[in-house]
A and B are shown apart, each in its own frame.
Chain A
């Protein structure tokens, strides 16, 4: 009921939030989104679909809105010249007339188009814009970055760095005030989750809480940025974006080996590799001069797309699909643009021509390898990465193999000769015998013919020397062949253990590229050469032919308007839940205009000037007052600005699936923090793979790992694209089939079931309960004492603090105590249930089992709190 009351009370406030602080209309912010949404499909860049010889996306085009043109069907029926838009005069602008007319036959957008008519508020904006002179602006994200001057702030104390200065100024403009800093406990939990994906320990909280030095927080941030878990957590976001997975994703959905690439990404983040370098090594590591092994591994970025199996599709179709996927990924990851539309036709909203798409296609059009995966084998081009010991063993095996082969060959030759000698001697013997027999009985000769073998079979005791030789050699050969096989098998085994990495490799000669008509692989049109879209700065070549390396340098050139903006926005999104541009994968015409454009540009400039220093960028964001604000505000404020776009408070964000699981494992003490290596398979419900897979797929049967592998961070969980781990997808992890720059955050009953019942999550609750009980006992109490009220409180407070980062209030503690006692009652009455739940734990009495079961349920409850799955 409380909720309804606040919603009602809020109604008046709600209306005011997004109103502009001043009256001036900005084309990019206010008008372009309207035009793009309602008009550009027919009056925009796509020539093929252009209506009425009018385009509204460009002001100075020959078909632009200001030109005078004859209209036979203008609204007032008047023939003669009129203008689509007449600056300063909405009433003489055909566009204005058509969006306001009631005449359905000429209304814009046409009712049958399915496009929504402008709302009165939007019409108002549009009219004002024309009145103010209908000024067009270059599309904001294609406009070069410009230095931003810092807006003045009344109270400097509110702004601890440049970020705050922009935010505080913007808040003031909207009549809002920033929130004070969150309490220290909230803060350490927030920043530890954000930087490492793990919760802080109670000891870390205590240490930070008691550290009164002025730079306590900054030192905390530095410690977190320096922890190896930082690299894992930030790599995980990157892997969503580049669609990293352990299987091909198509047809058989076989396993593919890319863990070396994943390890490279972790190391790159931890080493704070400059982001332009990080980009270049992935896009074109193979083309760098004297490319190191690591740089070649990084080029595996180009191999992350879905792959078809050989022998199904026409290979050219698979090939084209791969390259189209790579170009689309290039758009999403580095340009923040959706280029896919231009596969078939000129983009309807952005100035991306179909030709532009295939010019980019030409950069990726030259892989030295087949487009399809050869069954279960790994698909070349690939490199093998033996350790020094493995290399040594390999070469040992190779020399053994060589000598074994020589032995075998020699023996074969000797045997061949011996056999020939034997045959010759036998033939001779036979001939002699026959000669003798001619004078003998005829019957004997017939017998010889009936049993032709008989002659060549030396009689017992009369074995010829040659035959003995053959026999001896045969058995020697068998022995040596066996040895050869043994060595070969051992070598194969070693070879399988040697890590390999799928990489990118260019063909020697350039494969020609064509515009594909309607995107069809078998419908080539005009030939195209490598180039970048003309609405962006020109690309520079360092050689005779443009390469992927030139492309990488082009996007990281500081004159490039997109890359830095797109990248800082995505990092911002990781830390605030939503980017400054919400559509973090679409900075094009249908994307969102940034909420704080000056801040975005300032961050991008700083990022470039710092030498693309990621840690420095992250540090400046998380040490800002803006980031540190409290998220404890009224329901009104949440409802007013649910996604915290104004930044008038700290963001409250539901944790990602991986973080939720890792937290449960970490708090319970089960987490195995081993880093790097191949993916692992923690338990999942039976038959999930089998139900969808082909019998001959290498990922048909799921076999769960054993030992502490199943407690590795979720980041390392095996990712089968056709059936990703449900613990992850239920909490909105993408399938990793295509590039994902932003995860949804939903709240569903299936998530609630997962949190309550999943086997590892529940096991973790029991394990944690066990820890709590045993710690207490070690403190000196016996079982009886541990049942007392005060030790209960202590334990419950410990559990609450470990899971939420906060100390429980008296009321919360009382709820927990009552809960614990109710569970004790339940399990006292149902001892069998307590026994069943704790069967795997060695305990001496039923009383202990009841105690463990009861506490397990309380911990299970705590893990299911809203706050447990949320960073506040």
Chain B
């Protein structure tokens, strides 16, 4: 039954492409409502060109890690300790209500930076593991956004717009590319349930970050749970065995077929197919989340936390297992990076959670030959200020939100390793061009979130300008109405 049904769908899919290409697009919509429900459908016009990556793992550090203490080495800052931030550097930057009108005194990072890898990039002592794979990483130091607070910042990063109601990157990909595995969702979200650095000021997430906005809701991310069923409502209720469930679905299918014979609505066939898929997911998902077959060597690569359900380490390993099985887009969220005070201890704790799993994920993908066509992206929603917020001493300093420049890193998926892109001024406050002049221009290597999104799409074989969905009178794009650019300089 299953195979026959899927053969039917494959046939219908081809049929649909044919219909779409033909001048009379009628009936295509009808078949679309049937065929597009199935797992592997992609838009007929996609990809626009040969993709370099077929899947993406997006590691989102919610709360915004400090680029100054992790990535953007500024050796000259020590001499400027407690000096006020020059006005010409701040240059009218609007700040949050938390530090508005307060003194802005320079706080250098207390963490040591040393050169790592063949590329010799300076890495923070907080990231010893990531430092071992630095030659595979591309650091964009010139990321920028308009948002100055978490809610809008995250919404903009995940959906391309600060205003809610737009589809997330994963939803766009699910809509455009479909999935490579008929038994698993196209777009999976893994929320980490633990973070070591901060317990109190942990910024919120919102389901819109993996939502579909105006796209049909079937493209939304399926959030895996760290406790209970990994996929909501996956397990049979108490007393319902797989045999019993299978029998129940047989009965449902028999009756659905009888009904379909009386009433011509093809939607009934779709329901039957989705119930079959649900049944298959009941075995494919537990197989996916069961780590007992993973060798110890792999688990230890990710560190001891991997044994803990809901840990970032476990989620990174799960993400690898997901892309391995053809899930198109996996987004891993880790919270607790909003360090307005006592940054040193908090940041140390956070890095303990993520450093080893980050490096493990890169190594693991690489040794399987999967890094080539798996794009890994890691970022927070914005950066943090060079000036101190709150008490200023070696243990208590904090940093406020900073949208003008921050660092994201990428690996694999046709991105050059061992490189940096973009420059910031001596305060890590502004993006600067080759002459050291403040800039926000793409031509000067400034990278807006929309540019990053355009680049991610590009690696997946999608021209962001042509990848649209009609809504509210506009051909909506992930990258918005302003011009966005692919960051060609970082492509391998």
Contacts and interface: CB of A to CB of B under 8 A. Distances in A.
Q: Can you list the 3 inter-chain pairs with the closest CB atoms, starting with the nearest? A: A837-B239, A590-B473, A752-B278
A340 B149 contact: no
B473 A750 contact: no
B237 A759 contact: yes
A139 to B, nearest CB: 12
A212 to B, nearest CB: 25
A314 interface: yes
A816 B100 CA distance: 70
A836 B265 CA distance: 39
B217 A867 contact: no
B232 A726 contact: yes
A837 B271 contact: no
Contacts of A565: none
B31 interface: yes
Contact of A640 (B27, B234, B282, B465): B27
Interface string B205-248: 11110010000111000100111110111111111110111011
A685 B473 contact: no
B94 interface: yes
Interface in A112-136: 114-115, 119-121
A126 to B, nearest CB: 14
Interface stretch (B135-143, B256-264, B414-422): B256-264
A200 B218 CA distance: 30
Nearest to A308: B151
Contacts, number: 301
B15 interface: yes
B119 interface: no
A823 interface: yes
21 contacts: A1-B8, A312-B98, A338-B473, A589-B473, A631-B265, A632-B263, A634-B264, A692-B206, A726-B232, A730-B232, A735-B164, A735-B208, A744-B216, A746-B217, A749-B281, A812-B258, A823-B244, A833-B241, A836-B238, A861-B255, A867-B259
Given A652-B263, A749-B281, A834-B239, A314 B100 contact: yes
B26 A866 contact: no
Contacts of B269: 3
Interface string A771-792: 0000000000000000000000
A142 interface: no
By size class, the interface of chain B is 35 or more
Contacts of B201: 694
Contacts of A839: 238
Given A638-B266, A737-B165, A721 B206 contact: yes
A590 B205 contact: no
A722 B204 contact: yes
A747 B474 contact: no
Nearest to B150: A251
A44 B228 CA distance: 55
A48 to B, nearest CB: 12
A321 to B, nearest CB: 8
B110 interface: no
A642 interface: yes
A864 B96 CA distance: 51
A833 B8 contact: no
A723 B226 CA distance: 16
A691 B193 contact: yes
Nearest to B215: A744
A15 to B, nearest CB: 5
Interface of A: 1, 3-4, 7, 10-11, 14-15, 17-18, 36, 114-115, 119-121, 249-253, 306, 308, 310-315, 338, 340-341, 348-350, 522, 585-586, 588-591, 631-640, 642, 652, 654, 685-688, 691-697, 721-724, 726, 729-730, 732, 735, 737-738, 744, 746-754, 756-759, 762, 809, 811-812, 815-816, 819, 822-823, 826-827, 830, 833-839, 853, 857-858, 860-862, 864-867, 869-870, 872
A57 to B, nearest CB: 13
A509 B217 CA distance: 45
A864 B275 contact: yes
B277 A685 contact: no
Contacts of A249: 164, 206
Interface string B1-18: 000100010011001000
A652 B265 contact: yes
A815 B254 contact: yes
Contacts of A864: 248, 252, 275
B395 interface: no
A692 B204 contact: yes
A654 B164 contact: no
Contacts of B475: 114-115
Contacts of B115: none
A640 B473 contact: no
B268 interface: yes
A857 B238 CA distance: 12
